[in-house]
Chain A
Amino acid sequence: MRSRDSHGGTGASGGAPAASAPGGARPAVEWALRALVLVVLAWLLWRATRPPAPPPAVRATAPALRERLPAWTRAPEVRVAHAELAGVPSDTVRDWLAALAHAGVRVSYGAPALAPVAVAVEPVADPAGRVRLLAAAPGGTAVVLGDALGVLDSVRAGPAGATLATRTVAGVARAAAGNVAARGAAPGAPLLRPVLVLGTAGWESKFTIAALEERGWTVLARLAVAPDVAVTQGAPPALDTARLAAVVALDSAARPYAARIARYVRQGGGLVLAPPAAALPELAALAPARLDAPVTPHADALAGPDPRAGVPRRPLFALRDGAVAIEERDGRPAVAAWRVGAGRVVLSGYDETWRWRMAGPDGAPAAHRAWWAGLLAAAAYAPVVPDSGAGAPAAALDDAPVARLLDALGAPSSAPPAAAAREPRPALPWWVFPLVVLALLAEWASRRARGRR
């Protein structure tokens, strides 16, 4: 078989020497083109295996940060930004940095130690403290609580933060620790209507009324003294959520009111049941649990550090679905609560709590008051009246600034982030691909022109 070279040489008599001259240059050119393509491919391979160079970071410190942000946003080459903060940034700065991060810019920030403080405000049905400020802060941190008018109190946070009960909070509730201040919206004060106490004339009735009145409640009472004779305090109104915050049923004197009490509770009213009242068949359906046999209290416990241990008690059992034990003693529920319709019912297993007030240790009357106030606060219907004059604009509120900062930007760092493992590479120069294609085409055409494959 003849080769094409020998065939071509046969067709051109005496032409072999003439064809060899250009044929000697073109292979060289072809080799050069191949070499060029190989070099380019090698460069691409080298480039692919080499870690990308971190893009240059832009930096700004707190005073100038706000002015830099528009420029950082408009400049496409800004891919790494680092902000040095003096404290918790404003909502605008924080959200702007977060938006940059979401747009692909690697944002980092440095900041001094920030106390993770947060504040919440909730209304409480208690005349002695209608608003409760709850501050979260690391244990041992000094927290200053205040409102729009100034400082309310300073406390040291415990393991569960800090709590302050106060009558009102004007405008914005504030909890400050170190260089961080959390600001929460203050709800309006709860509207506290009177409480109706139903009982038999006796020490429990007397001292329950005394405790509630001393706490600041307006107490209406109907205390049975004899058949068809009762000592009344105030004019007992209709059992209606528009007139009463709660009913305290102490004993069998509540029996004639049982049907009205049930209707009142289902409409949203509050009910506190003492054991003798909860034992009434007419009221048992409202109770969140059943009463066990009485427990004989410890004789000396009344004057001890836990005086409620010396109060006669009937432990609770068989809690109904949805009922919760809000106090336990000796591993058994002592106070429980649940919802009935739109209302709430609290059942106390303690009877004759007056003994605690009379015979308890120093501070027993105040503790007895506070305990009864707690029972009532858990049950009472107290609609919150919005305080239209003191409302703060939403922009002024940030109830957990450090948490929001961490949520938006992550943990602080002292330097811009290093290159990511999958750092996007800069695009290839536009001419690389055409160059390779043209080189290969030229090499191929040259070979074909020479009659080579």
Chain B
Amino acid sequence: MTPFVFATAQYESGDWDSAPLVPANIIDSIARYTAIPVAPTGVIVPLSSESLLRYPFVWLTGHLPVRFSDAERRMVRRFAERGGLLVVDDHNHDVDGAFHKTATEEIARTVGPLRELPNDHALYRAFFTFEDGPPTTSHELNGWGDNLVHEHLLAARVGERIAVLYSSKDYSSEWGYHPDSKRFMAVDNTKFAVNLVVYALTR
């Protein structure tokens, strides 16, 4: 069985590599909590490349405005239609920020409108249970960014299936640390990342 490979999206605009520690941290959590075979290192995959279709789970983050090129838009649309899951996280945690405005617009244009995902969605029970929906981040609780606690994630669907999952919660900052640091935490805050991957692999 081919191991799961964590893929980070590389796009032409913006700063796609703003959270370089997130992949290793999520890979560590998957290996730690599940029996899913996982590749020890992630890959970086250009959104405009055909190789995007080799990785049905792709993580996209950044701070700066996002504008897909035509080739990127075409590939993302194809990726979504064929069953891939693109998880987009706003590294600014700011609904008035440049990333949020441009990324949501680009997603709506490429895949479809983003709508709130109910907090009782299967995503929140895919492995760990999150009764209240997406877990809050320290950035939300500290009042940084837009000073809001975002109650829901947003989703763009193809049919009934989630094709793009959008987060304003800044998990890129929340999970952007070395995996070894987990031992100093009372509660591992990357557990929700496991749900994201398990959900992508099973639904």
Chain A interface residues (CB < 8 Å from chain B): 200-207, 210, 221, 223-227, 229, 231, 233, 251, 276, 303, 352, 354-355, 357-359, 364-365
B129-166 vs A: 1/0 string, CB under 8 Å? 00000000000000000000000000000000100000
- In the assembled complex, the CB of B164 is this many whole angstroms from the nearest CB of chain A, namely 16
Contact B35 A358 (CB under 8 A): no
CA of A229 to CA of B161, assembled, Å: 23
A225-B35, A233-B202, A364-B82 given; 12 more Cβ-contact pairs under 8 Å: A201-B198, A201-B201, A202-B4, A202-B201, A203-B2, A203-B4, A205-B202, A352-B2, A354-B56, A358-B79, A359-B53, A359-B54
Interface size on B, residues (CB 8 A): 25
Chain B interface residues (CB < 8 Å from chain A): 1-2, 4, 33-37, 50, 53-54, 56, 79, 81-84, 126-127, 161, 198, 200-203
Contact B54 A355 (CB under 8 A): yes
Given A225-B202, A231-B126, answer yes or no on A202-B83 (Cβ-Cβ < 8 Å): no
Contacts of A355 in B (CB 8 A): 54
Contacts of A358 in B (CB 8 A): 53-54, 56, 79, 82-84
Contacts of B203 in A (CB 8 A): 206
CA of A201 to CA of B50, assembled, Å: 24
CA of A203 to CA of B201, assembled, Å: 6
Q: Which has the most chain A C-beta neighbours within 10 Å: B37, B83, B198?
A: B83
29 pairs, A vs B, C-beta closer than 8 Å: A201-B198, A202-B1, A202-B4, A202-B36, A202-B37, A203-B4, A203-B56, A203-B201, A204-B1, A206-B200, A206-B202, A221-B202, A223-B201, A225-B35, A225-B36, A225-B127, A225-B198, A226-B35, A229-B34, A231-B198, A276-B1, A303-B50, A352-B2, A355-B54, A358-B54, A358-B79, A365-B81, A365-B82, A365-B83
Contacts of B2 in A (CB 8 A): 202-203, 352
CA of A153 to CA of B59, assembled, Å: 46
CA of A374 to CA of B127, assembled, Å: 33
CA of A205 to CA of B33, assembled, Å: 19
- In the assembled complex, the CB of A217 is this many whole angstroms from the nearest CB of chain B, namely 15
Q: Of the candidates B37, B79, B83, B127, which one forms a contact with A229 in the assembled complex, judged by CB atoms under 8 Å apart? A: B127
CA of A362 to CA of B81, assembled, Å: 11
Contact B56 A226 (CB under 8 A): no
- In the assembled complex, the CB of A296 is this many whole angstroms from the nearest CB of chain B, namely 14
Contacts of B82 in A (CB 8 A): 357-358, 364-365
CA of A224 to CA of B198, assembled, Å: 10
